[in-house]
Amino acid sequence: MASVEECRAALVKLVAQFDEIDAEDRAKHVVERTVSCRVSDLDVTFYGRLHHDGLDPFVESPPANGEPADVKLTIVSDDLVALVDGRLDLARAVLGGRVKIDASFGDLLRLRRLL
């Protein structure tokens, strides 16, 4: 099991990876969305925001408005680290039940194009 610190580091890496996506691609496929990432085996949830300029750093405190995230991911710590490191394919992880994504169909299609 990965630690909370390792999960934080993985999410920092994910933010950096989003920064590397071509601005044109982001403009085509990104709609501003709030994101939560629940790491089920550590019982911790990280919150972030996706927008045309990239992905904001994840924090552990929920948004002040109290509204649920538009895109909710649930994953175990080892899979989060493996996914961000490129050792775990997102589509296979979702189909295999290792990652649960709660989002609209349109958001799922947009995310697939970016990841």
**Domain count along the chain:** 1
Split at pLDDT 50, 70, 90, the class of 113 is low
CATH number at residue 16: 3.30.1050.10
Q: In this structure, how many other beta carbons lie within 10 angstroms of the beta carbon of residue 79?
A: 19
pLDDT digits (tens, 9 = 90+) for 30-67: 789 999 999 999 999 999 998 888 889 999 999 888 88
Determine the pLDDT at residue 115.
Answer: 58
Backbone angles phi and psi of 114, in degrees to 5: -90, -25
Name the percent of the chain in helix, strand, coil, to the closest 5: 40, 25, 35
Q: Which domain holds residue 71?
A: 4-114
- φ/ψ region of 7 (left if φ > 0, alpha if ψ in -120 to 50, else beta) reads alpha
What is the pTM assigned to this prediction?
0.89
Split at pLDDT 50, 70, 90, the class of 99 is very high
How many degrees, rounded to 5, is the angle at CA 64 between CA 63 and CA 65?
A: 90
Which stretch, 19-23, 45-49, 108-112, has highest mean pLDDT? 45-49
Give the bridge partners for 75, in sequence order.
39, 99
